[in-house]
Chains A and B, each alone.
Chain A
């Protein structure tokens, strides 16, 4: 291939013909000091908060601190090329990022520049990174479910489209895994996904991208990366950029899912910026407006009213706690902003309960409104039952004699815990979830040894899809359980149980 220089020449010629000279009016300032991703600028008296400024070297920045005699600018780019005394000009525009379908399947930095080596992103559409969230009259209550494909979550802490559900837990408790599973499960739902990686190791992010690619989830996902080596300003801006990209779908009647992984690192980046700007530190040295930093971000996730197209942004912010300390500053802030939290506990994780969700303190404030009717019926009291089981279990460990009713409750609990375990990257269809949870909560597994629950589940689902596909079809159509359908499911489970036990006994005899 060779470049066609004639074509280029004609484009340039046209541009020159159209070029008109005019006087360039600009407000300027001079760099007083620069370092650690921020610059102090003298002058720029007309600049507005949040306005983009441009350094003489071409690097862009954001007016962050307006002081009496100087302006604090956060630098979005390479600050090592900026010198003291350099001219800075205001641009009169706000920071914006490219948006649209062209971004799907791409890995970009928080300014929308591609990082995946797949060439430029050709889109003329842009959206401002910081916008004010939709008001009360522009919204409607959350009512459509966003299926994560994870039994424990869809049954006990359901997430609706437009909801903000926090995933909180210590390091290495499977927080990212839940978010990735939720993304993978959106394959057929038409929900566009945005994974915002903030302050993470680049190798971890590469692993996540690879996993999304393998499962085909990259077709509808954009990954926004501000890794651990990215300067603090980019880490701070990343979640807002991701939301701006998702808003393009929401405001056009579509649905989007944004994962912020994780907001504690963003808070740390914001603290770094604020301290460098000499803003007064508050609790845990965070600036006073760190709550606003998160609330204005998460308020942008919502379900728009039907008049505005009914689009939505669902967000899954992730917060990492230290030693299970949920009452630290940032966790309490984000817990109070979001519509519920999924709390992951290390001891459950190490005991092999994955996802390691603590049913007792995990909640979804949207609740049953975000579930299909069938799920609401089968999983109604599941969360409370499981929480009660955990208490009972602790009590039973004391070795006291238990009455048969308590023992039965314990047995049911052990089996439900087994049933809610789920492998990573294996999201389950909501119909299958309803079937297995129905079997569990209605006591069909009570006689089964706990170590065979997983096997039972696999075989049962296979049996249902192979031999009883009409039941699955009916359930998928109705999305509700009426008496007739319930009877059919009961009969199917009984039939399968006879087979399953028969096979087991046969296997035992032959051994």
Chain B
């Protein structure tokens, strides 16, 4: 066609990574960080981000070695049919369960914050259907929407950070500035689940315009959430102190609640912030959901992914309503975090394998 943008550009690549990573977790991140790392919250958030960056770069290199395939396909090329397909299936399960988890956490939070009496199912299904609608538009639509929403999300979080600077006290932050290194490192696995989402690199490299899926772009894409998450942790601790933050379910929202919104028509910044946060949650849900359906269709080597979107939507819904209460959700979160980490490690192993065996796909082939 006429359009020169039939392949995704560099900015879209960045937006895809950032908006997939930044999602529901943004509102509870300081809590998670302090719960697992205490004084090391800040350092360990930063280190988890750096770890994620390393994995993302590995995935990027790996993806560029197979410029026309997604991981589901080159798993088969590299590891043989049976093992490759099995790992591909695990990948699909990971994407599916992450979609379900994000959806569930989002709906729970929204129910608690905004719609106290609305049934969870209604929130979940309306969100899921919207995600289905987006996924039917394909990777181009998803990338463009991420590109559209990412600035809004970043601006809203920066606005939150800027407005709550009056509640910020440097004294409260002092304890986390010199943490013990060991404690920080120990809690990285718990925190790394906050940065999950960069696996999207494994699936989207074939759609990116040549030379746009490069390492600088990856670094920017993952740098944005790392910086913003770190700032959020700093702000929450500076505004409340360590122990109070640990007791709050959604410290970021509480941060917003302390703000007196400068404006005549809206007083509560927290509601405003929650609304913009829905956008962040939505892009995460939709991106993961698209990856799930895309990886499934690539696994069964079909071309049209659209029927699979319809097929997978009820499954995601079923998975999302499975956990009964908050502890169960947290448990699922931990498992999925480990699964995500092992996928990252798998990518690293694959890269080593390729470099040893030299089985890379030729650019022209």
**A and B form one complex:** no
